[in-house]
Amino acid sequence: MIRTLPKFARTALVTGGALGLGEAISSRLSKDGYNVVIMDLPAVAEAGKSLAAFIDGHFLPGDVSDPKSVEETIKKIVESHGSLDAVVNNAGVIGQMTPTGDYDLDEWKRIIDVNLSGTFYTLKYSLAQMAVQETGGAIVNMSR
């Protein structure tokens, strides 16, 4: 049985939360009583804002491959909501289906920047925040 928290009792960040699996995760966390903050690329801002309005959450445009963007997003969450209680590291890209010898190096760098570095940046700044909170927090890392 899933325990339902009072609405807005805890705040969750979902990276890549505007579409697909991230949309489902954001919706479920909202149903479970979390105040959901969706972080996703500005290119999908309309979808993110629409979902945020539907689940009574918030959308913050950002890019997990940019450490300053992640740090600023977490600062905004704490300033607005007082804490960061849960994070779902869902942002990720698949990339080209190309033989390794033909793989574009800029595409490879993009994949590493989002899937590996983006996860690290989100962990780094989330853990720093959760370490100073009495309630700690929880983090889920997704993989593609």
Tokens of 71: 């740090």
Q: Are the CB atoms for 29 and 14 separated by under 8 Å? A: yes
The listed CATH number (3.40.50.150, 3.40.50.720, 3.10.50.40, 3.30.1360.120) that belongs to domain 10-141: 3.40.50.720
DSSP 110: H
So where are the chain's domains? 10-141
Per-residue model confidence (pLDDT) at position 130: 96
Which pLDDT score, from 0 to 100, does residue 52 have? 97
Task: Note the pLDDT tens digit of each residue in 49-95.
Answer: 999 999 999 999 999 999 999 999 999 999 999 999 999 999 999 98
Q: Which of 55, 54, 66 is nearest to 91 (CA)?
A: 66
Q: 44 is written with which tokens? A: 């999908």
pLDDT at 6 over 80: no
Confidence of residue 143 (pLDDT cuts 50, 70, 90): confident
- Indicate whether 2 pLDDT > 50: no
Q: What is the C-alpha to C-alpha distance for residues 88 and 15, in angstroms, rounded to an integer?
A: 6
Residue 135: band (very low, low, confident or very high) from pLDDT cuts 50, 70, 90: confident
- Contact in structure between 29 and 103 (CB atoms under 8 Å): no
Tokens of 118: 């983006």
Cross-sheet strand order for the sheet of 58-61: 58-61, 34-40, 10-15, 86-89, 138-141
pTM: 0.91
Count of alpha carbons within 13 Å of 94, Cβ hemisphere only?
Answer: 3
Q: What is the pLDDT of residue 120?
A: 98
